[in-house]
Amino acid sequence: MKQTFQLIEQTCAKSLKPLCITYIIGFILGTFLLDMDEFLWTILIVIMLAVILIIHDKRMKSIVADGAYQRMRILPIKRYSLLWSELIFVSSSLFMLIVTCYLSWICSMWIFESAYSVNALFFTVINNPLLSVLAPIQIQGFLAMLIVLNMLAMLIVFYTFCSHAWSKTGIALLNLGMGIIAVLCVLQFQNWVMIMMCFLFICMNYYFLAKWLRVRRNA
């Protein structure tokens, strides 16, 4: 575990600043968008998720370009320390996205206290598919969202390793896993918010497949 956190400190330190800026901007915007249309909330969360994925993609590309992964292979560390360090950092960054949404939700309760006193905001939250997942009373939805985000974190990390190893079998297995997760997301949540997240999975899938085919063609 000590080696894992040392790897996190070495490979992930440069990404902390852009991630923190993303959370702060999302918190400020989310606090003042709660009383507005659900579409704005959805766009905000999808944009934040896309920015987080871009930050991780650039970080991993820079690490691979510098040859850090190759140098780590010859270091006296445990075999799966690097993989666990990536999983922990990516999962933590996605979990902070949920925490940011919860904090903006709580602050909005204080800002719109008059609306809450007449139960207007309460019924708005109950009737809103997106906010019902974020509301503290929906523990099942919260746990389901954590599971989905952790699956997304694993997909990001495994895709990164497979895309640089160019393993056709690994890419095929990840495509199958992505399709199963997308179907489970739609069946579990049954709203267009999760469908948009699944669409993001498909875009990632297309990007890595196109990259793999282009490299194989050039070879």
pLDDT-derived band at 169, boundaries 50, 70, 90 = low
Contacts of 44 (CB under 8 A, 6+ apart): 26, 29, 30, 33
CA pair distance 10, 32, nearest whole angstrom? 36
Q: What is the pLDDT of residues 81-90, one digit of tens each?
A: 666 777 778 7
- Encoded tokens for 14: 């440069």
Band of pLDDT at residue 91, cut at 50, 70 and 90:
confident
Amino acid at 176: L
DSSP the chain: -HHHHHHHHHHHGGGHHHHHHHHHHHHHHHHTTTTS-HHHHHHHHHHHHHHHHHHHHHHHHHHHHTTHHHHHHTSS--TTHHHHHHHHHHHHHHHHHHHHHHHHHHHHHHHTHHHHHTTHHHHHHHH-HHHHHHSTT-HHHHHHHHHHHHHHHHHHHHHHHHHHHT-HHHHHHHHHHHHHHHHHHHHHH-SHHHHHHHHHHHHHHHHHHHHHHHHHHH-
Q: What is the pLDDT of residue 93?
A: 84
Q: Where are the domains of the chain?
A: 2-218
pTM value is 0.61
- In this prediction, residue 197 has a pLDDT band, given cuts at 50, 70 and 90, of low
Kindly report, residue by residue over 97-151, the tens digit of the pLDDT. 878 877 887 777 666 655 555 455 555 555 554 455 455 445 555 566 666 666 6
Q: What is the rounded average pLDDT for all residues in the chain?
A: 66
